[in-house]
Amino acid sequence: MSEHDETLRKALEENARLRSEWEESLRENASAEYSRHLRTAERVYWVYALVCVVLGVAAIRGFFFAAAPDTKTMIGCAVVILVIYETTVLMKLWFAMAAMKMTVLKDLKLLRLEVARLGEAAGVQRAAGPTVQYEPVRGASKWERRFWFAACLVAAIATSSWTAREFARGGAWLVDATTVTLEADGSATSVTEIEHPYQSRLLVSKEFPYYAPKGTKIRFVDPQGEEMPVKITETSGHTRHDVTLTDAVFANGMMRYTRISETPKAAARENGVWKYQSDFMYSKPENRFNVTVRLPKGAELVSAEPAPTLQSEQDGRTTVQFRGSRAKNERFAYAVKYEVNEN
């Protein structure tokens, strides 16, 4: 082989190498272009998923775990949940179609490049083959998908915490306003107005038990003045009252009802001095009470423990008032001693 033939052979090999690199560059650019479009579509999907997580958690909180003020609010939360569910399914279908579209377009583009390469290589003894295999269109990387998943998780936790604080703001408290009217024979009539928020009509129990000493007559009245159904069961030393709450108790996210108790021998007499005492505990984390004790007409107060918040005269009766707050399972006990003028 002459020197000119060797030079020509090297030139042809160099030309084939350069053409192969150029064709490979075209293939890589085409694949990168469609992969970039797919990554954009996937990021749009993740952003939408993030928004759905925030709205979905807020709607679920409002429907199941928040104090729903009315039926319209619950219907609105249910509609939001359904819309988010349906649109999330549609977004999954859209992303699957987008991925399929990008893959088909990429393969068609590479096929056109391959056909053009083979057409130009016709007559060549050995056409330059592709240096890399064709790969599917690449979306977001593994680490980016982990980032978006973590972002959705953090958004769900943050939204749940925020909605729990906003929807149930002050939800773990109870207000108890009790008025005890004592009579000269030691009997007492107690009227207790109870008010506290509820988390959800779907989760709150429609019945609750209440125990009272035997001989005590108790009625439970809703805000409309109607007595609520009560099932009475006698136990050892006490009477169990299973109270069924009516719909009127639930209004504007609050539970309100009145307990009326009539106790024939509420106060005990010793050495001419009457003594009325009582105590109670609550199940809420924060409980505010206001207990008013009205002595019999003409009775004189001897002592009160603890020291009353307020003492006054109303309608010929001495009235003492105890105000305060207690935590969950923290007992409050009080006692009032008085003398009744029998003349």
Comparing 28-32, 116-120, 186-190, 282-286, the range with the smallest average pLDDT is 116-120
Full domain range(s) for residue 192: 173-339
Using pLDDT thresholds of 50, 70 and 90, give the confidence band for residue 131. Answer: very low
Does residue 181 sit in the same domain as residue 320?
yes
The stretch 258-272 carries a mean pLDDT of 90
pLDDT greater at residue 172 or residue 59: 59
Predicted pLDDT at 148: 80
Does residue 69 sit in the same domain as residue 181?
no
Predicted pLDDT at 13: 61
The stretch 154-179 carries a mean pLDDT of 70
Of 142, 167, 192, the one marking the end of a domain is 167
CATH number at residue 307: 2.60.40.3140
Burial group, residue 190, by CB count within 10 angstroms (0-12, 13-18, 19+) = buried
The identity of residue 15, as a single letter, is: N
Of 134, 152, 167, the one marking the end of a domain is 167
Extract the runs of DSSP E, i.e. beta strands, from the chain.
173-182, 188-197, 207-213, 217-221, 230-234, 238-244, 250-251, 254-263, 267-270, 273-280, 286-294, 300-305, 310-314, 317-327, 332-339
Judged by DSSP in three states, 39 sits in helix
pLDDT greater at residue 223 or residue 174: 223
Question: From residue 265, how far is each of 32, 210, 216, 238, 275 by CA, in Å?
Answer: 90, 20, 9, 15, 11
What is the Cα–Cα distance from 218 to 211, expressed in whole angstroms?
10
Does residue 334 sit in the same domain as residue 254?
yes
Predicted pLDDT at 132: 46
The stretch 257-279 carries a mean pLDDT of 90
Predicted pLDDT at 252: 76
Question: From residue 333, how far is each of 128, 214, 264, 277, 293 by CA, in Å?
Answer: 97, 20, 20, 7, 13
User: What is the tens place of the pLDDT at every residue in 55-106?
Assistant: 888 777 766 665 444 566 677 778 888 888 888 888 888 888 888 888 888 7
**Above 80 in pLDDT, residue 168?**
no
Backbone phi and psi for residue 225, each to the nearest 5 degrees, phi listed first: 85, 5
Contact 148, 140 (CB under 8 A): yes
Of 140, 167, 194, the one marking the end of a domain is 167
| Tokens standing for residue 76 | 């609105």
What is the Cα–Cα distance from 27 to 33, expressed in whole angstroms?
10
* Total domains in the fold of the chain: 2
Does residue 16 sit in the same domain as residue 163?
yes
| % of residues, the chain, pLDDT over 70 | 74
Does residue 240 sit in the same domain as residue 327?
yes
User: What is the tens place of the pLDDT at every residue in 321-336?
Assistant: 999 988 888 899 999 9
**Above 70 in pLDDT, residue 303?**
yes
Does residue 32 sit in the same domain as residue 120?
yes
Does residue 280 sit in the same domain as residue 207?
yes
Does residue 220 sit in the same domain as residue 112?
no
Does residue 185 sit in the same domain as residue 131?
no
Judged by DSSP in three states, 257 sits in strand
The identity of residue 60, as a single letter, is: I
